[in-house]
Structure 1
Amino acid sequence: MNLKNDFLIIGLMSGSSLDGLDIAACNFIKNDSRWTFSIIETKCISYSKEQKNKLEKLSSVSAKKLVKAHADYGIWTGNCVQVFINKYGLKPDFISSHGHTIFHEPAEAYSFQLGSPAHISSASGIDCIGDFRNSDMALGGEGAPLAPIADLDLFPEYEVCINLGGIANISYMNKSGQLVGFDVSVCNLIFNHLSEKFGKDFDEDGVLGLKGTLNEDLLLKLENLDFYKKRAARSLDREWFSKNVEPLFSDTAMSIEDQLHTAYIHVSEKIAHHINLAGGGKKVLLSGGGTKNKYLVRLIQEATASKIFVPDESVIDFKECVLMAYLGLLRVLKTNNCISSVTGAERSCSGGGVYLN
C-alpha cells in the first residue's frame, strides 16, 4: 500500500436493516490538503431470506458456529467483491470493510462485526482493512459512530450530517469547535419491523404510517427509554432494539398503522430535536434508506428551522460505503479515524486491522 494522492478503494457495508451487502468503488484524490471523492461503480447484493434468518440468529449461537460464520461470510464477501471488480475491470488499491455487526457492547469494551477481513482478502486477492471499532473501545470509547470524521472531511458544505439507516445517527461541530456524533434513535429498524406485519419489507414513502394516529401511551414509553438519559457518547445496535424497543410494539389491541404512526412521530422528533440543538438555520445533509421515505423527511423538516438537503441517489444508498472507504484510507495514512470527542475514548486513534494479500 504505497502512500500517494490518488486511491481507488472498495468500501463495504452491511447495516442493521439487513438489506444486503453494499459495495462501492470510490476514487479519492487529494487536492492541496483535502481529500475529495467520487463514486465509480456500486452494487447492492440483497440478502436471501435464509441469509437474513441466519444473520438475525447469530447473536445466540455457539462460539464455534459464530467463528465458522465469520469465516464463511468473509469468503462470501470476498467472492462478491471479486465478481464486482471483474465485471467493471477495476484495480482497487484495497478493500475497506465494516462487516455486519453481531455484538456491540461498549459497557463491556467489545464489538464484533461478522466477516473476517483475512478471508475477504484471501477470497478477493486484494488487501483488506477491517475491525475499525475495537481500537477505540480498548481506549474506553463507544467504538461508534464511525461516520463523523468522514462527514466532516468529505461533506464540508453541510453543517450537520444525519444517516437514516436502521439506526439514525448525527454528526456536527459543536459550539466549542469539537467534532461530535452519536446515535440518535432507532429508525428503519422499527419501521421495517412493523411493515413486515403487512408482508412488506419497508413502508414505502410512509404510506402505512400516514394511515395511523398517535398513541400517547406508546409515545411516552418510547420517550422514557433509558438510552435517552445518556448524555455522553452513545451508540445502539440491533440487539438493543430487539430487547428494548421491539417489545413495546407487541400490543395486539393497537393497530399496526397506529404503532407505525407513533414510531414516525417519535423518531422524527428525536432527530429534529438534535438538529435544533446543533444550532438554528443549519444546512443538514440526509443519507441512508430513510431518506427515500417522504413522510419521515417531511416530519423532520416540519420540526426544524434548519434546511434539509437530500443528495443524489448514489450518495443516499452508498454514503456509508464511501465513509468506510475513507476510514480505510485514513488507516493507511496512519491518521486518526476514531475521534475521542465523538466516542468518549481517552484519546483518538487510527483503528482497523490491515490484512495483506
Structure 2
Amino acid sequence: MKNLTNNLYIGLMSGTSLDGVDGVLVVLPEHTDPAQANTMQLLASAYIPFADTLRADVMALQQSGADEIHREALAANMLVIQYAACVNALLEKVTSVDQHSVRAIGVHGQTIRHRPELGYTRQTNNPALLAELSGIDVIADFRSRDVAAGGQGAPLVPAFHRAIFGQAGVCRVVANIGGISNISILRADGSTTGFDTGPGNVLMDAWIAQHHAKPYDENGAWAAQGQVHTGLLAALCDEAFLQAAPPKSTGRDLFRPDWLNQKLQLSAFADISAVDVQTTLCAFTATTLVDAILNYAADVAGIYICGGGAYNQCLMQHIESTLRRKGSQSTVASTEDLGVSPHHVEALAFAWLAQQFVDRSAGNLPEVTGAKGLRILGALHPA
C-alpha cells in the first residue's frame, strides 16, 4: 500500500542533446492550482550519463535504417535501465523515502522522431519496464495526446514555467536551450505563449563530435576561439521554419548534420575553418533565439536560460551581444537567479506533468501547441 501523505513525484528527462538523464524527487502541492506550484520542495536530484553505446544507438535511430523496430526496442530497454538507475540514486539520497511513498514517475522518453505535421511524435521508452524495475507508477508519452488534438506536442513546459517563474506585471521569457531551443513567454497580463525557436546545442554538438570527437563544446571554449562568418550565418538563417509563425516545433528531423552540410557545400563557404563554423553555429543559436524573443515579446524585461546552454559561456555572451545589437536592454541570466538550477527545470516539469495526469488536469496550453483544446497528457503504467 502506498503512503500518499506526502505528494512525492519523480521527474525524469533525457533531452535532444543525448548526454544523459536528469532526475528530481520533489514534493508538489496537494492541489493543482498553478499559482501554488512554486511551493514545491526539491528533495533530491541526480544525473546519470549515457553510455557511449546507448548514445550511438539512439542517434542511429534518428534516421530510417535496417531492422529499426528491433533496434529501437533494445535501445528503449537500455534507456530504461538508465532511468531506473536515476530513480534508485534519488531514493538513496533521501533515506526517509522509498518507492511506496512516491505517487508516480513522470518520464519524457527519448525523442527519435517528431513529425506533428504528419500526426505523430515518437519518444522511445519502455515505461512498463520502468514500472517493473522501480515499483512506482509511471506516467509517460505526454506528447501524443496533444498531437492527436491537432497540436504540435511541443513545447510542453510553458504551463510549468508560468507556474513557477511567472510574475504579475512583468514580461519574462524562459528559454530552454537543450538540443533544440524553445521559449516560454510569460506576459505581464498573465497570458502565456511559447514555441521552438530552432537549434540549441544540436548542431554545435555534432560539429565538435565530427572534428574533435567530443560530445559537446564545454563552456563554448572551442567556439570562443573562432570568428562568426556573416555569410554562413545568413545562409543558416535562411530556413523556412525560422520564418514560420507559431505554433511550431522542430527537432533533429530538420536540424541534423546533413542539413548543415548542404549549407556548407555552397562554394562561398568552401574555405571556412572548422573553428569558425563552430563559432557561427553558436551565433546561429543565439540569433534565432533572440529574433524569436524580440519578434514576439519585444517588451521582455528579463530572459532566463535553462538547459545545457546555460552553461555555455560563449553562447550566453552571444545572446547578450545580439540583444544589445538589436537595441534590447533586457537582462540575461540563468534560472538559477529565480531559484531553480538550469539542469533541474525540465525534470521538474515532467514531475509536474505527472501530477497533472494523476489529478486528471490538463497539461497542455492550446495557445502554445495549437491543439484544439485543453487535454490530459500522458499514459499510466501501474507498478
Scaled by the length of structure 1, what TM-score is found? Answer: 0.91
| 3-state DSSP of counterpart to 1:17 | coil
Partners in 2 of 1:5 and 1:107 — Cα distance? 43
Paired positions, count: 357
Q: 1:255 offset after TM fit, Å?
A: 0.7
CA contact under 8 A between 1:24 and 1:41: conserved in structure 2? Answer: yes
Other-structure match for 2:44: 41
Report the residue type matching 1:274 in the other structure: A
Name 2:192's counterpart in structure 1. Answer: 179
SS for the counterpart of 2:283 is helix
Does structure 1 residue 292 correspond to structure 2 residue 294?
no
> Aligned residue for 1:233?
247
C-alpha displacement at 1:7, in angstroms? 1.7
Distance 1:265 1:315 in 2: 24
CA 1:66 to 1:301, structure 2 compared with 1: closer, same or farther past 3 Å? same
* Residues 21-36 of structure 1 aligned to structure 2 (within 5 Å): 21-29=21-29, 34-35=36-37, 36=39
Structure 2 unaligned runs (5+)?
A: none
AA aligned to 1:229 is: Q
Judge conservation of contact 1:12–1:97 (CA < 8 Å) in 2: yes
The answer to whether the 8 Å contact 1:79/1:124 transfers is no
Cα distance, 1:3–1:282 mapped onto 2, change above 3 Å: farther
1:253 to 253, 261, 271: 271
Gaps of 5+ in 1: none
Identity %: 27
Query: Which moved further from structure 2: 274-283 or 116-125?
Result: 274-283
Matches of 1:106 and 1:244, distance apart in 2: 20
Counting only pairs closer than 5 Å after superposition, residues 1-357 of structure 1 correspond to structure 2 as 6-29=6-29, 34-35=36-37, 36-59=39-62, 60=64, 61-89=67-95, 90-91=97-98, 92-157=102-167, 159-173=172-186, 178-196=191-209, 197-242=211-256, 243-245=258-260, 247-249=262-264, 253-277=271-295, 278-302=297-321, 303=323, 304-312=328-336, 315-357=341-383
SS at match of 2:107: strand
Secondary structure at the counterpart of residue 136 of structure 1:
helix
Q: 2:41 & 2:320 partners in 1: Cα distance?
A: 28
Contact 1:109 1:137 in 2 (8 A): yes
Deviation at 1:309, TM superposition (A): 2.3
Q: Distance in 1 between matches of 2:345 and 2:152?
A: 22
Q: Give deviations 1:284-339, integer Å, cap 9, x for gaps.
A: 21111111112211221221311112233961112110111111111111111111
One-letter amino acid of the counterpart of residue 299, structure 2: G
Instruction: Tell me the TM-score normalised to structure 2 length.
Output: 0.85
Q: Matched residues in 2 for 1:81 and 1:246: separation?
A: 39
CA–CA distance in structure 2, aligned partners of residues 332 and 232 of structure 1: 30
Paired residue type of 1:306:
S
- In 1, Cα distance between equivalents of 2:147 and 2:290: 29
Contact 1:3–1:333 (CA<8 Å) still a contact in 2? no
Change over 3 Å in CA distance of 1:126–1:215 after alignment to 2 = same
Partner amino acid, structure 1, of 2:144: N
Q: CA deviation at 1:77?
A: 2.4
Instruction: Give how far 1:245 is off.
Output: 3.5
- CA-to-aligned-CA distance 1:93-138 (integer Å, 9 cap, x gap): 2110001111111011111111121111111110010000000000
CA distance 1:85–1:2, shift in 2 (3 Å): closer
Alignment partners' CA distance in 1, 2:192 and 2:367: 6
User: Relative to structure 2, which stretch is displaced further, 51-60 or 83-92?
Assistant: 83-92
Change (3 A) 1:273 1:353: same
Q: 1:85 to 1:271 in 2, by over 3 A?
A: same
SS in 2 for 1:235: coil
